Amino acid sequence: MKICIVSDSHDRADALGQAVREAKAQGAEAVIHCGDLIGAQTVKPALAHGLPVHLIHGNNVGDPQALHFQMQKSGGLLRYHGPDARLELGGRRIFVVHYPEYGHGMACTGDWDLVCCGHSHAAGVERVANVKGTETWLVNPGTVAGLAAPATWIFAELDGMRFEVRELGNQT
């Protein structure tokens, strides 16, 4: 299963929609948003591409009531999880949290195949040793909005656990 991982869109609906469009063109079947969407309207262009969007709120919460309203209107496409999410996609156990420090801690538990985080606006992919003697993938897609950093997102292939940081508009 291929997915799009984004974070820190900060009301930049056009950038978020573009990342989802690019990911869908490459075969993505779902989107994970690691927080700081801000306004509930920001998610609309992403939803227009017909992929399920799993969203947490981050430290810039915006309006949770409006997000619940958007979720109800989305016909099941928008799944707002609150401060963190526990997902199973493509047979992989995935934990989503906004803060990288919490993400690193969750990766260390060994309870997850993949931990996704955001907040730092710095894209990165790493394998973290965990207490079970294996490694867990920790990915941060950076900021799709391009705030004080390049506009980035991650294209992930869960079958082979492959992750590629993509710059918005630069497909490979």
What is this structure's pTM? Answer: 0.97
Dihedral sign, CA of 158, 162, 165, 167?
negative
The per-residue pLDDT for range 27-40, each reduced to its tens digit, is 999 999 999 999 99
The per-residue pLDDT for range 93-143, each reduced to its tens digit, is 999 999 999 999 999 999 999 999 999 999 999 999 999 999 999 999 999
Quick one: which H or E segment has residue 56? strand 53-56
Q: What is the pLDDT of residue 139?
A: 98
Of residues 63 and 27, which shows the higher confidence score? 27
Q: What is the pLDDT of residue 159?
A: 98
Give me the percent of the chain exceeding a pLDDT of 90. Answer: 93
Q: What is the pLDDT of residue 61?
A: 79
Q: What is the pLDDT of residue 62?
A: 83
Judged on CB neighbours under 10 Å (0-12, 13-18, 19+), 102 is middle
- The CATH superfamily label for domain 2-167 reads Metallo-dependent phosphatases (3.60.21.10)
Which letter does DSSP use for residue 151 in this model?
Answer: B
Cα–Cα–Cα angle for 32, 61, 82, rounded to 5 degrees: 50
Arithmetic mean of pLDDT over the chain:
96
Work out the average pLDDT over 15-30: 98
Q: Given a cut of 70, is residue 171 above it in pLDDT?
A: no
Judged on CB neighbours under 10 Å (0-12, 13-18, 19+), 108 is middle
